[in-house]
Structure 1
Amino acid sequence: MNPLVNRPRARDLGVVVGALPTGAHNAITDVPGVLVGHTTIEDDADLHTGVTAIVPGQLGPDRWTLPAAVYTGNGYGKLVGSTQVSELGVLESPIVLTGTLSVFRAADALLTYLMDRRPDVLSLNPLVGETNDGHLSDIRRRPITERHVLDAVTGASAQQPAEGCVGAGTGTTALGYKAGVGTSSRTVPAADRQVTIGALTQSNFGGVLTALGVPLPVEELIPDADRTAPPGNSCMIVVATDAPLDARQLGRLARRAIFAMGRVGASYSNGSGDYAIAFSTAGPDQPPIPDAQLDPVFAAVLDSVEEALLNSIFTATTTRGVGGRVSHALPYEAAVRRLAAASRLTDSVLQPAKSDG
């Protein structure tokens, strides 16, 4: 069980996605050098929001950019800095996620962080995404401050990240249930090396929750649940890897991250801004893996994103928000019974890959 939440992750209950092994934490932080930090704003009434920062530790004086790509599944959203990433194929900042109307303040705060680190540079490109947590949080108050962003970035760590109702996932809902932040990872052989792929999601989108091919509709598992949840409102997916890949190849990974949303029942609605960001931490002296040898990496992206999305829901807790609206946690006992009846559960959870450290 995730020690940072009081609800189990999907895998803790035998909901195991695919046959590939995970990293030590089964998290995006299994990719060496990748850190995650959260700042949470929670007043048990009108504010349920926050900041999540994904910080590649490789960005520093020896190397100020990493290969990266952005894929837009549906562009109903705000991803500040994305066009430059797409144009140049490089990431030059941590990735910050927050609520919709706070994205601009978060971008300004991240710019402060970048300018402090690089006083000799004239222009910098902060990358900040969002989902709309306005169903549970008063987004018009725009409560995110510079301090919230800087605390998430500078406090990021390589430990197993908290999931569920934390950081940018504090006020989100997905597939009819309370959702939040989720993460997962896989390790696979690719070309002549073992590589790690990690995913982190900010889940806030519509559809019917599906786990391992089994529909878990909220109206059946919670017949008296609040039905006012919005049909869309977006998903942000971040994929990190230490596989040596160029920006074009990372775009292929980002597309598959969006495809993975379909596995958990996403409706890809008109109002859902669905974005994936993929970056590589591999050294610049390593040649890219040939395209013909990328199939294991693609499989790892699909499985890790799918499991991260499930974790974002399994670990989230029931939340009452602005206007008295309620988003109910998945009743995982009922979900497990349905999955067991469909013979989808595994009795033996796959062991994580051994850490080199």
Structure 2
Amino acid sequence: MPESPGPDPLAPTVPRRARQLGLGIGDLPTGTHNAITDVPGIRVGHTTLIHPPRVHSGVTAIVPEGVGPGSPLPAGVFAGNGYGKFLGTTQIAELGALETPVLLTSTLSAFRVADALVGWILERPEGADARSVNAVVGECNDGLLSDIRSRPVREEHVRAALESASAGPVAEGSVGAGTGTTALGFKAGIGTSSRRVPVAGQEATLGVLVQANFGGTLRVLGRTVTPADVGVPADESGPGPETGSCMIVTATDAPLDARQLTRLARRSVYALARVGAGYSNGSGDYGLALGTRPLGTPAGPAVVPDAGLDPLFGAVLDAVEEAVLNALLTAARVTGPGGHTRYPLPAAQLLALLG
């Protein structure tokens, strides 16, 4: 079993999400769990690897129901800054189709994770006749807080994340692919949020999941928040690099085609500016958006007209902003092998600062 990272003197006894603190973003209602799994057919699983102080890493799986080489879903992708690896996305950009779950992990583990995902797909009914599999794997560099060169994520960890994926609440913070990631000077990790959106006379659900690991200066409801502002101790081992990446996965049951999903993915990356992202030279800022409703079938729904997309665009901006805050608020203190320590965003101190 993974070892505990130890108590965090600044963290609440029970992690508090942004909305629980009165910091919900926007006017649209959330889904039941305020998570990407509120979108019907979407499941999420994590494998978390913690062996202090050397390893804080893992893998996160976003699993759309029934997806496979013979049953692809519409998808689009956007690279805001391409200093990173999102394996499989050139085929998505070309064909507008997603044919595997989306996995997130650590930079140097991405290739092992992709190989494990291919093996998993080939064994399943969805891949029974496949001669080509476009595995989709994103990564963030967790090398500040984990021994990234050890490449700790193995095939069994990938399979565990895929097989354990479930609907319902999603674990956030220092779990799965977010175990060793940092953002905006704080410990970060996995965050998620959802919105119920009026689209073309019907209600659709949109959900996002972020793997937050990027630099910049945090902004909460328009106010700049530095670690010093909320009493987070300075890293005595030195500041460490504050570049990094953010992987954003958006899912929706609104009937959108690949071109429209690309437009949605683009706005998910734009949303990082709201929380203070620096979009540095060394940052890989990627958005992938997928639709859970296959198009082109005789009984399929009509695609939402472009003029009706504005509610979805607004929803993804709000959901990404809130998901990043959730990642910062629910994380745990972590000290890595080089002595670097990152603390989560402390709720009580943040509320006091915001007044």
TM-score over 0.5 for the alignment?
yes
Please, which of 129, 141, 144 is the counterpart of residue 138 of structure 2? 129
Taking only aligned residues, the RMSD between alpha carbons, in angstroms, comes to 1.3
Matches within 5 A, 1:78-93: 78-93=85-100
Matches within 5 A, 1:319-334: 319-334=334-349
What percentage of residue pairs aligned between the two structures are identical?
Answer: 56
1:315 and 2:330 matched:
yes
1:152 and 2:167 matched:
no
Partner residue of 1:73?
80
- In the alignment, residue 304 of structure 1 is paired with which amino acid? A
Contact 1:231 1:269 (C-alpha < 8 Å) held by counterparts: no
Residues of 1 paired with 2:100 and 2:315: CA distance?
25
Partner residue of 1:264?
275
Partner residue of 1:253?
264
Partner residue of 1:349?
none
Normalising by structure 1, report the TM-score: 0.92
Shift of 1:222: 3.1
Please, which of 124, 144, 148 is the counterpart of residue 139 of structure 1? 148
Residues of 1 paired with 2:232 and 2:188: CA distance?
18
Partner residue of 2:6?
none
- In the alignment, residue 191 of structure 1 is paired with which amino acid? A
Please, which of 199, 211, 222 is the counterpart of residue 213 of structure 1? 222
Residues of 1 paired with 2:21 and 2:142: CA distance?
28
1:101 and 2:112 matched:
no
Partner residue of 2:8?
none
Partner residue of 2:44?
36
Contact 1:99 1:139 (C-alpha < 8 Å) held by counterparts: yes
Residues of 1 paired with 2:334 and 2:242: CA distance?
18
Please, which of 161, 164, 173 is the counterpart of residue 173 of structure 2? 164
Distance 1:245 1:223, change over 3 A: closer
Q: Secondary structure at the match of 1:324?
A: coil
How many equivalent pairs are there?
Answer: 335
Distance 1:243 1:223, change over 3 A: closer
Shift of 1:192: 2.4
Q: Secondary structure at the match of 2:288?
A: strand
1:119 and 2:128 matched:
yes
1:279 and 2:286 matched:
no
Contact 2:184 2:276 (C-alpha < 8 Å) held by counterparts: yes
The CA deviation string for residues 159-183 of structure 1, in whole angstroms up to 9 with x for no partner, is: 1110000000000000000000000
- In the alignment, residue 316 of structure 1 is paired with which amino acid? A
* Unaligned ranges ≥5, structure 1: 342-357
Shift of 1:96: 0.2
Q: Secondary structure at the match of 2:86?
A: coil
Residues of 1 paired with 2:121 and 2:55: CA distance?
28
Please, which of 297, 300, 311 is the counterpart of residue 312 of structure 2? 297
Residues of 1 paired with 2:58 and 2:206: CA distance?
25
